[in-house]
């Protein structure tokens, strides 16, 4: 299948382009970007013109920041194209629901991707937890924003999510591996005095069985980066580390290579998109985004030291 990639920035070049190149399902037929391109691929700077000139390209993958993404997705859907959305799927929940309605009306596939759900041991963790009684779950997601988002000013503007840009990856894993749904019960959001989005957040959740569920997100981490989810149950303690790439149970390595027959988060996303298009289906799970929206609604705001690049 032919696919057009829109927004040729770091995530597109690091993840999407190699995943498409390595897939038997896809051919990168065009790019749309004001600044970037991919060698050997037809490049456009006008999305409308590309859609009109290339009716043979039936799938569009959007790697734009959240705020401008809705307009591109809506235009693609109205043009009868299947759409793949980089995370988070939109700037607001209402936008995402509107896109779902459009896709349903136009009978095209819409895929809200959560790449961290495709980490190697996430499915194994979900299977292990499926019949366990949860007592406590702790998420620790701490990284250095200067290392991972250099010069990306949009993340500090309204709609950019701030620390929830990586934090939503953790929430996407949590909402996949827990057998019972949780909801936010409290939050503290820490805003640099010179920025519009938070640099850190402490979250607490209500669990239907009373388990203690918390998350600690921080973009000020120096040294080792921490992406860990620890789940204590009556049958032992499971730890997902390295963003879901490693899994231990009571300190012993768990999960097998057979848990992840296709290597890489983004190759798995593109394989899933191919299945959705072939089946005439959509996948728009907004659970991770609901938790973020609830945090902004319920969270207590604290002002912290200014952030400078």
Burial of 199 (0-12, 13-18, 19+ CB in 10 A): buried
Give the separation between CA 198 and CA 217, rounded to whole angstroms.
10
Give the separation between CA 173 and CA 86, rounded to whole angstroms.
16
- Does residue 262 surpass a pLDDT of 60? no
pLDDT at 190: 98
- Does residue 259 surpass a pLDDT of 90? no
For residue 235, what are its two tokens? 């049958």
- Tell me, yes or no, if the two domains 2-112 and 120-261+292-304 fold the same way: no
Band of the pLDDT at 73, cuts 50, 70, 90? very high
- Does residue 144 surpass a pLDDT of 60? yes
Over residues 198-234, the pLDDT tens digits come to 999 999 999 999 999 999 999 999 999 999 999 999 9
pLDDT at 254: 87
pLDDT at 86: 97
The mean pLDDT value for 171-190 works out to 98
For the chain, give the mean pLDDT. Answer: 96
**Structural domain spans, the chain:** 2-112, 120-261+292-304
pLDDT at 257: 54
pLDDT at 79: 98
For residue 162, what are its two tokens? 């701030």
Percent of the chain whose predicted confidence (pLDDT) is above 70: 98
The mean pLDDT value for 275-292 works out to 98
Q: Are 247 and 227 in contact (CB under 8 A)?
A: no
> What amino acid positions are annotated as catalytic residues?
87
- Does residue 81 surpass a pLDDT of 70? yes
Cis peptide bond upstream of 88, omega within 30: yes
The mean pLDDT value for 268-297 works out to 98
Band of the pLDDT at 277, cuts 50, 70, 90? very high
Cα–Cα distances (Å) from 21 to 1, 24, 42, 46, 240, in that order, read 12, 8, 15, 23, 29
Over residues 126-140, the pLDDT tens digits come to 999 999 999 999 999
The mean pLDDT value for 166-186 works out to 98
For residue 105, what are its two tokens? 């009306």
The model's pTM is 0.94
Cα–Cα distances (Å) from 269 to 159, 253, 282, in that order, read 24, 26, 13
Burial of 294 (0-12, 13-18, 19+ CB in 10 A): middle
The mean pLDDT value for 74-98 works out to 97
Band of the pLDDT at 309, cuts 50, 70, 90? confident
Give the separation between CA 119 and CA 247, rounded to whole angstroms.
11
**Of the listed ranges 10-24, 136-150, 190-204, 256-270, the one predicted with least confidence:** 256-270
pLDDT at 258: 52
pLDDT at 20: 98
What superfamily in CATH does domain 2-112 come from?
NAD(P)-binding Rossmann-like Domain (3.40.50.720)
- Looking only at the bridges linking them, the beta strands covering 59-62 and 2-6 are parallel
Cα–Cα distances (Å) from 27 to 30, 81, 192, in that order, read 9, 15, 43
Band of the pLDDT at 245, cuts 50, 70, 90? very high
Q: Alpha-carbon Rg of the chain, whole angstroms? A: 20
pLDDT at 139: 98
Cα–Cα distances (Å) from 23 to 15, 61, 114, 260, 269, in that order, read 12, 15, 19, 16, 11
Give the separation between CA 21 and CA 13, rounded to whole angstroms.
11
The CATH code of domain 120-261+292-304 reads: 3.30.360.10
Give the separation between CA 13 and CA 239, rounded to whole angstroms.
31
Which of 119, 114, 215, 204 minimizes the C-alpha distance to 163? 215
Dihedral Cα 29, 53, 80, 75, nearest 10 deg: 100
């Amino acid at each position: 299948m032919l696919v057009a990639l829109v927004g040729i920035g770091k995530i597109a070049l690091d993840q999407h382009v190699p995943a498409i190149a390595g897939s038997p399902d896809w051919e990168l037929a065009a790019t749309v970007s004001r600044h970037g391109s991919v060698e050997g691929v037809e490049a456009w700077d006008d999305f409308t013109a590309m859609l009109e000139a290339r009716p043979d390209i039936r799938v569009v993958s959007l790697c734009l920041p959240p705020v401008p993404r809705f307009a591109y997705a809506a235009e693609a859907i109205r043009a009868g194209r299947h759409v793949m959305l980089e995370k988070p799927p939109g700037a607001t929940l209402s936008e995402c629901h509107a896109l779902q309605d459009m896709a349903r009306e136009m009978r095209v596939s819409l895929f809200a991707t959560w790449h961290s759900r495709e980490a190697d041991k996430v499915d194994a963790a979900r299977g292990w937890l499926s019949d366990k009684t949860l007592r406590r779950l702790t998420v620790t997601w701490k990284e250095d924003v200067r290392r991972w988002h250099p010069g990306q000013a949009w993340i500090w503007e309204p709609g950019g999510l701030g620390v929830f840009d990586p934090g939503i990856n953790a929430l996407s894993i949590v909402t996949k591996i827990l057998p019972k749904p949780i909801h936010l019960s409290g939050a503290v959001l820490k805003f640099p005095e010179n920025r519009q989005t938070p640099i850190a957040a402490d979250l607490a959740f209500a669990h239907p069985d009373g388990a203690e569920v918390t998350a600690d997100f921080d973009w000020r981490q120096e040294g080792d980066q921490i992406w860990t989810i620890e789940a204590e149950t009556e049958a032992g303690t499971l730890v997902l580390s390295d963003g879901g790439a490693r899994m231990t149970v009571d300190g012993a390595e768990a999960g097998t290579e057979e848990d992840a027959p296709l290597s890489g988060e983004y190759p798995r996303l593109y394989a899933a998109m191919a299945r959705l298009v072939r089946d005439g289906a959509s996948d728009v799970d907004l659970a991770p985004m609901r938790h973020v929206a609830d945090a902004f609604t319920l969270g207590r705001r604290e002002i912290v030291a200014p952030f400078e690049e």
